[in-house]
């Protein structure tokens, strides 16, 4: 089966490579030349536009930064919709606003094309491993046709409801992750300021109720002062903005999310928007006048 893949960024590139490793024939496009060449060197065929990708494939995957990018790639000039054939399936794996997913799906439907929204969680490490958690919105019969493909990129793929449900689930995921990071940051800064080794605090609590995948992934990075991005603060800002916009549309108050959003905005003002979202702890370190590191305050 020939699969199209549009968007070869920090997440899309390893996801595309995993499809190649699984034996799928891949036609790819990205506006940036370097990752396009890298994936072509791994065995993919380069296309000249999203439209060109769609004209050669029955299943087209998009993995792009935000709603406007997906709309342009799918519905814009030289977009997927200009080359796609009736009966094809578009799987948007970007994290975008649920309403945007529904709008794009409605336009594709006029061409006889089905769509799933299938955002992912796990960041670059799990994209490389092929162990992403994939949250899907759309029709059951469409999901069934592509589930095996999704599971070449993820450890799980769960149909959460109709189109848009995947991105609603991703927004819920991103709220929980953001609040977990903020809670970890407050706790480890408190411990450090009180003169307790934060590494020992982490070791003591990670097996209890406070333990989480977020804590296990981010605390070791924080203790080393390592904020190399697996998931950038600026991308989490984008997700939380989509969460806030969606919440306002449906009258669902999310006050803690708005607080963490303001902390992330402060990090952006401080020039740290391209760092890993675990670097959020620097906001608290600055307020408290300490740095959380192995062995105690520095």
Q: pLDDT tens digits, residue range 157-214?
A: 999 999 999 999 999 999 999 999 999 999 999 999 999 999 999 999 999 999 999 9
Q: Rounded to a whole number, what is the distance in angstroms from the first to the last CA of the chain?
A: 55
Please check whether residues 292 and 194 belong to one and the same domain: yes
Of 147, 162, 177, the position where a domain reaches its end is 162
Domain coverage including residue 258 = 168-297
Give the closest residue to 278 by CA, choosing from 197, 200, 212, 195: 212
- Spatial separation of the C-alpha atoms in residues 182 and 186, rounded to whole Å: 6
Question: Which H, E and C letters describe 88-117, residue by residue?
Answer: CEEEECCCCCHHHHHHHHHHHHCCCCEEEE
Please check whether residues 9 and 154 belong to one and the same domain: yes
Please check whether residues 103 and 196 belong to one and the same domain: no
Residue whose structure tokens are 């706790």: 187
Q: Is 170 labeled as catalytic in the residue annotation?
A: yes
| SS3 (DSSP) at 63 | coil
Which of the following is catalytic: 17, 170, 238, 272? Answer: 170
- In the predicted model, is pLDDT for residue 156 greater than 60? yes
Of 162, 195, 217, the position where a domain reaches its end is 162
Please check whether residues 184 and 255 belong to one and the same domain: yes
Please check whether residues 152 and 192 belong to one and the same domain: no
Please check whether residues 157 and 175 belong to one and the same domain: no
Domain count, the chain: 2
- Spatial separation of the C-alpha atoms in residues 252 and 256, rounded to whole Å: 12
Mean pLDDT of 8-36: 97
């Amino acid at each position: 089966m020939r699969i199209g893949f549009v968007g070869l960024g920090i997440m899309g590139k390893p996801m595309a490579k995993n499809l190649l490793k699984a034996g799928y024939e891949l036609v790819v496009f990205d506006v940036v030349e370097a990752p396009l060449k890298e994936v072509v060197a791994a065995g993919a065929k380069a296309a000249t536009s999203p439209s060109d990708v769609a004209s050669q494939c029955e299943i087209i995957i998009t993995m792009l930064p935000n709603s406007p990018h997906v709309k342009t790639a799918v519905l814009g000039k030289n977009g997927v919709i200009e080359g796609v054939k009736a009966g094809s399936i578009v799987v948007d794996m970007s994290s975008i606003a649920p309403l945007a997913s529904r709008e794009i799906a409605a336009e594709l439907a006029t061409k006889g094309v089905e769509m799933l929204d299938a955002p992912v969680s796990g960041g670059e490490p799990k994209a490389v491993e092929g162990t992403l958690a994939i949250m899907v919105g759309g029709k059951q019969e469409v999901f069934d046709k592509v589930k095996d493909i999704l599971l070449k990129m993820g450890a799980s793929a769960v149909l959460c409801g109709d189109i848009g449900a995947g991105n609603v689930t991703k927004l819920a995921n991103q709220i929980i992750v953001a609040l977990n990071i903020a809670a970890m940051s407050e706790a480890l800064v408190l411990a450090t300021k009180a003169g307790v080794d934060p590494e020992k605090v982490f070791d003591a609590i990670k097996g209890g109720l406070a333990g989480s995948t977020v804590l296990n992934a981010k605390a070791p990075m924080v203790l080393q002062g390592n904020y190399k991005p697996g998931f950038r603060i600026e991308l989490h800002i984008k997700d939380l903005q989509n969460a806030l916009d969606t919440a306002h549309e449906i009258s669902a108050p999310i006050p803690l999310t708005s607080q963490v959003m303001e902390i992330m905005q402060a990090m952006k003002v401080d020039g740290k928007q391209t760092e890993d979202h675990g670097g959020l702890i620097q906001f608290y370190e600055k307020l408290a006048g300490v740095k959380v590191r192995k062995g105690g305050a520095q």
